[in-house]
């Protein structure tokens, strides 16, 4: 999928809406609501004794969160998790509180420790989509950006709460700066491994690493395996894909080809890291297909709904019938749980 991310520093996109919706993903947030809090937030005692009842020197054990019995019920909403007002409104709208909150951060942003605390206090895990807009992956791999990287990793370790990190997602698309037009699979894997190793050296084992390709439908000629860092460097495979009016809306049509290809080289659990359905008469059916597909797939951990107006209006509130169906299906016990008690 190809909805180019838009930040305040990015050039405007000249592609037509129909082409964008057919080809693209939707991580289209500008700096408002996504800029992480300063490093000062991470200097406070957030992880250890207050959050877990254990010594902060002992890294948080993320194992129970890697493949829990129930499904993650996630959302990406304005301002969250630095402010939880949007999450609270989403909870009231859908009838269920999200337990996975995704936000977007550029390379160079500080780690939003307070936001992670905010989400954790409401029983939710934070997922950081970390986007290297103004840095090359070659420089990251070569250690040229280690001062920032080590500081970030130290902040994550000091907080000592579980955090999901998805670095440079949609790498199999040509629309990203770190995508196929500018970066080779070898360069991508080298950068990923260097980041992961730096966190390991910092003792930040409280991170769940989500490797997140776009669905292969618009880029069938790009093989995923060469971009995969290896099972030792990945905890989740976070697939990104949207239900659009130009494509068949069966769950297996949208996600099946990608999941089938992934299963040829890894058995890691999968998560629909970013999804939504384009507004229209078919939206209620799209929502039904999403819930049914995720529930039926034992290897699928859950999904994150992108509830933003970016290039298209993906917000649930603009489609009352689809929202009613979403609320009905979200009530199922299999979706959602308190991540503090997995």
Angle at 49 between CA 45 and CA 51, to 5 degrees: 80
Q: Which residues pair with 275 in a beta bridge?
A: 305
User: Active site includes 223?
Assistant: no
List all residues 6 or more positions away from 62 whose beta carbon is below 8 Å from its beta carbon: 162, 205, 206, 207, 208, 235
Task: Supply the Cα-derived Rg of the chain in whole angstroms.
Answer: 19
Residue among 170, 176, 278, 325 flagged as catalytic: 170
Is the distance from CB of 65 to CB of 208 less than 8 angstroms? Answer: yes
Which of 163, 244, 168, 227 has its CA nearest to residue 199?
Answer: 163
User: Active site includes 325?
Assistant: no
Is the distance from CB of 73 to CB of 335 less than 8 angstroms? Answer: yes
**Whole-number Å distance between alpha carbons of 329 and 91:** 14
Which of 173, 193, 73, 174 has its CA nearest to residue 127?
Answer: 73
Strands 312-313 and 309-310: antiparallel
Residue among 122, 131, 247, 274 flagged as catalytic: 274
List all residues 6 or more positions away from 110 whose beta carbon is below 8 Å from its beta carbon: 36, 37, 38, 39, 41, 42, 152, 155
Which of 130, 93, 105 has its CA nearest to residue 317?
Answer: 93
For helices 283-296 and 251-262, what crossing angle results, to 10°? 40
Q: Any idea which residues carry the catalytic annotation?
A: 170, 274
């Amino acid at each position: 999928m190809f909805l180019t991310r838009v930040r305040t520093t990015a050039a405007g996109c000249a592609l037509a809406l129909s082409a964008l919706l057919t080809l693209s993903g939707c991580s289209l947030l500008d700096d408002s609501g996504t800029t992480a809090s300063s490093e000062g937030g991470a200097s406070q005692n957030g992880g250890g004794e207050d959050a877990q009842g254990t010594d902060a020197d002992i890294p948080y054990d993320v194992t129970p969160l890697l493949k829990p019995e129930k499904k993650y019920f996630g959302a990406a909403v304005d301002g969250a998790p630095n402010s939880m007002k949007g999450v609270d409104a989403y909870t009231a709208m859908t009838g269920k509180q999200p337990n996975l909150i995704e936000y977007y951060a550029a390379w160079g942003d500080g780690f939003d420790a307070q936001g992670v605390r905010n989400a954790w206090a409401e029983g939710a895990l934070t997922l950081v989509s970390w986007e290297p807009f103004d840095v090359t992956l070659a420089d990251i791999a070569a250690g040229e950006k280690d001062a920032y990287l080590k500081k970030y990793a130290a902040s994550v370790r000091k907080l000592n709460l579980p955090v999901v990190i998805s670095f440079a997602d949609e790498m199999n698309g040509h629309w990203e700066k770190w995508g196929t037009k500018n970066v080779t699979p070898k360069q991508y894997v080298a950068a990923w491994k260097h980041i992961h190793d730096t966190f390991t050296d910092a003792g930040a084992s409280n991170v769940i690493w989500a490797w997140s390709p776009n669905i292969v439908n618009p880029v069938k000629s790009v093989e995923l395996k060469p971009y995969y860092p290896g099972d030792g460097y990945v905890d989740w495979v976070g697939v990104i894909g949207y239900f659009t009016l130009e494509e068949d809306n069966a769950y297996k049509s949208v996600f099946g080809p990608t999941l089938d290809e992934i299963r040829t080289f890894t058995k890691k659990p999968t998560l629909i890291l970013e999804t939504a359905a384009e507004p229209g008469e078919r939206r209620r059916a799209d929502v039904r297909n999403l819930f049914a597909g995720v529930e039926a797939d034992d290897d699928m951990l859950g999904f994150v709904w992108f509830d933003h107006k970016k290039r298209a209006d993906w917000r649930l509130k603009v489609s009352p019938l689809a929202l009613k169906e979403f609320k009905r299906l979200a009530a199922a016990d299999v979706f959602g749980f308190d991540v503090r008690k997995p």
